[in-house]
Chain A
Amino acid sequence: MQFQRGDKIEVYKKSMDEAWESYMDDFIGLHGFITDPDTTINDPDALIRVSLVGKGTHRLPQDALRLIP
């Protein structure tokens, strides 16, 4: 999945990435926007910054996110 700044996303599942912390389980099902995609090397493995409705801004692994219309 390639995310662009401003894309609307849903945190739809738990990631198996080591960067996934237990509090992030609270985010599953939440919607938000990509505010900073993998800016340097377009790396699908990079953690990207999302602003989640009601939960502030966090860096999350991309495999936990999906685009929503």
Chain B
Amino acid sequence: MAEQTCPVRNTVIYLSEQICSGTLTDPKGRRISEQILQLTEEIAEGAAGPEHLSAIDSLIEEYFYTQSPVQNQETGKTLKEILDAHREVFISHIETKNCPSHDCGKLAPSPCQMACPAGIDIPTYLSLIAEGKDAQAIEVIRRDNPLPWVCGLICTKPCEMMCVRARIDTPISIKFLKAFAAERAMSDRAYKNPEKKADNGKKVCVIGAGPGGISAAYYLALMGYGVRVIESLPVPGGMMMVGIPRYRLPREVIDREVAMIEELGVEFSYNTVFGKDVTFEALKKEGIDAFFIAIGAHKAWDLGIKGEKEFPRVIEAVKFLKDVALGEHHVPGKHVVVIGGGNVAIDAARTSIRLGAEAVTIAYRRSRTQMPADIEEVEQAEEEGIEFSFLTIPKEIVGENDVITGLDCIKAELIKKQGSDRLAPVPILGKDFIIKADAVISAIGQYVDDEGMQAFDNMNWSRRGTIEVNHASMETTMPGVFAAGDAVSGPATVIEAIGGGKRAAESIDRYLNNIPQPRMPKIPVRHTTEPPKEMSASRKMTLKHPEMSMLSVDRRRTMFQQVELGYDEASVRREASRCLRCDICRRCGKCVEICRDKMGIDALKLGYMDFDEPSETDFRATGEKCITCGACAANCENNAIVIEEKDGQRMLKLCGTILNKQDIQYCEECNAILPSIEYMQFISQKTENIGKVTENRCLCNNCQRKLSAKMTVLMPPVNRT
């Protein structure tokens, strides 16, 4: 272990090496080490509570059980020594949530990883995809997300929004690269489950087979728990299966990824309603030790307008999408109006078109820029012929004899209400109009259906109608009962539910092993650092974001085939290579400052490093001014910028991008390697006296010094008379 670095960081490195190297062959010793590592990582991140250190002390004692192998005892002894010598440093980390030497921040995740609610190590898997190692990339993704293929097709991609490459040109297409890798790995039969731990004899019941439930089930199964998933629908996937249409997410994708989880021994009970077909008491009798609730938010809000309850063809979008997903392919009407502005409204409209509706209009009370739906989804809907009626407030559904004839609306304007700087839609008096319709679909949002949840009598509900949890552990107010997904957040995203499910699985494990829970949600962690891919500055600058191949519009208006067809392999490898590797370079800007302010060279045009005011970036510009002095590399704490000498050339590289390349010069006297001519000229200017002596000669420092000394001896003193 390194002596100079923070002991907390050292402990993390030591335990990671022990676990990864396979040194700990004893299952109990390995389990103890993993638990201590988890607690130490939280201390390093500032996420630890007051009980963390005492829990580590107790775990260390567990290494020394009767007949414990020597390897365990040695690990325990080493950890004891670290704690004895540096206990106050651990306490300081816990109390101040800070690492005084900043060592604990050196592996800080990249902005894309930080933005991902599941905390996926994106730069690592992108570099693996760039190298064509798709199965390894999937392995990295599944450490934090068991559904890479699903997310590769439908994620809301907050990672791309934070992508640093966007400060230069366009963000990396992270989402589709993930889908490509998953599909390729699945096709190659290289999409494998990690090895699961031996059964620990404990059982967890997961209520709901949506993304949150599936995620928790996967991580619990890997930890050795027996998992039973209760699902009221006849299929797995929850909203992924019955809320997202097949043209965005083919059923086979969900089925294949769920099959991987079944392979781990997770038992799925479909068509089983909790509280009706199976009760809390019965499950407790079955030996369930903990419960995880991930029931989603499937109940639709009412429109609250006249006519809503009178006409049979006023349909809730969630029910409509569910029926279609389960095989009822009936067109809702010839002229369909969808009310709402989110992704569910867009999905209902695009589904109606595919089922044969002649005209579909989305009525939204605000303007286009305020639509919560994804921009791509809105554009694709427009391409398919869906009309939008913005600033439209529905007033009444009109018709005769159970048949709808139209939706009576009133035009709105956006006005700031008193005491608020928020624009609200306000009806304009007299601006009434009717949209022709024979079917109206409401898509104004969903809420959590609490039916059947009465058995969890000590579980609190928030005023928003969601399950109240401690977000650090996802534990409800009822001991042993955890929850995540839309049931906790309200209608949100698949990736957020996946992240919550994983966090809950870790907390259930802690709960059942009497390990203290973290004080705050875990900050994403990086497990490894892939070496960066070497490429020229020109290549790095000129690689362009590929165009997505799309299904023809005619087919999109008639079938449920997948709309986005993905990239070809060459485009995928190129796109992954555009990644700037923000896991290695933390963009502290020290290299730029030193080159510009200390050396006076100003060769690094890396404007993307400035978070608040990014300026122009051009990796190619470095070669014009750089003297390969190495000052930038010498001051880079993360070794992101380095000087390398290879094959007669000296290269300055930033995360693999060659910023400058020069032929190495050799000393004419002794053949020693010289710095660049430009650097020697730079030094000559600073040391003019020596320069005079060695003028026009290519010499190393030693020879310069020797010759200069020799000449000084030979030359007569200047001022001697």
Question: CB within 8 Å of B: which residues of A?
Answer: 1-2, 4-6, 18-19, 21, 23, 26, 33, 35-42, 44-47, 49, 51-59
Contact = CB atoms under 8 A, between A and B. Distances in A.
A4 B368 CA distance: 12
A57 B471 contact: no
Nearest to A8: B612
Contact of A40 (B114, B342, B520, B522): B342
Task: Specify which of A21, A51, A53 lies most central, judged by the most chain B CB atoms within 10 Å of its CB.
Answer: A51
Q: Could you tell me the dominant secondary structure of chain B's interface residues? A: loop
B115 A33 contact: yes
A39 B345 CA distance: 12
A39 B161 contact: no
Contacts of B521: 23, 56, 58
A51 B111 contact: yes
Contacts of A36: 156, 158, 492-493, 496
A56 B422 contact: no
Given A1-B422, A39-B342, A21 B470 contact: yes
13 contacts: A2-B422, A2-B423, A35-B161, A36-B496, A38-B372, A39-B342, A39-B372, A40-B445, A41-B444, A42-B366, A56-B521, A59-B489, A59-B492
B119 A56 contact: yes
Nearest to B375: A5
B80 interface: no
A19 B490 contact: no
B188 interface: no
Given A33-B115, A59-B489, 14 more contacts: A2-B421, A2-B422, A19-B464, A36-B158, A40-B444, A41-B444, A41-B445, A44-B420, A46-B464, A47-B490, A53-B111, A54-B114, A57-B117, A59-B492
Contacts of B519: 23
Contact of A18 (B156, B462, B496): B462
A41 B446 CA distance: 9
A30 to B, nearest CB: 12
B439 to A, nearest CB: 22
Nearest to A39: B372
* 10 closest cross-chain pairs (CB), A and B: A23-B520, A35-B158, A40-B445, A51-B115, A39-B372, A2-B422, A41-B445, A56-B523, A57-B117, A40-B491
A51 B119 contact: no
Contacts of B115: 33, 35, 51, 57
Given A39-B342, A39-B343, A40-B445, A19 B423 contact: no
B643 to A, nearest CB: 29
B423 A40 contact: no
A33 B161 contact: yes
B615 interface: no
A33 B162 contact: yes
A51 B523 contact: no
B158 A40 contact: no
Nearest to B343: A39
Nearest to B492: A36
Q: Could you tell me the dominant secondary structure of chain A's interface residues? A: loop
Contacts of B492: 36, 39, 49, 59
B422 A39 contact: no
B97 interface: yes
A52 B115 CA distance: 8
Contacts of A49: 117, 158, 492, 496
Contacts of B46: 26
Nearest to B416: A2
B425 to A, nearest CB: 9
Contacts of A59: 471, 489, 492
Interface in B83-129: 97, 105, 108, 111, 114-117, 119
A47 B486 CA distance: 12
B524 A51 contact: no
B108 A54 contact: yes
Contact of A26 (B97, B490, B496, B499): B97
Contact of A51 (B158, B342, B420, B422): B158
B370 interface: yes
B463 interface: yes
A23 B117 CA distance: 17
A40 B156 CA distance: 14
B6 interface: no
Interface in B194-240: none
Given A23-B520, A42-B372, A18 B421 contact: no
A57 B47 CA distance: 14
A57 B366 CA distance: 28
Given A49-B496, A57-B158, A37 B114 contact: no
Task: Specify which of A5, A54, A57 lies most central, judged by the most chain B CB atoms within 10 Å of its CB.
Answer: A57
A33 B97 CA distance: 23
B472 interface: yes
A20 to B, nearest CB: 11
Contact of B490 (A1, A46, A51): A46
Interface in B152-170: 156, 158, 161-162
Contact of A23 (B116, B421, B463, B472): B472
A51 B156 CA distance: 14
A39 B341 CA distance: 9
Contacts of A21: 470-472
Contacts of B524: 56
A40 B444 CA distance: 7
A49 to B, nearest CB: 7
B162 A51 contact: yes
Contacts of B472: 21, 23
A4 B373 CA distance: 12
B471 A5 contact: no
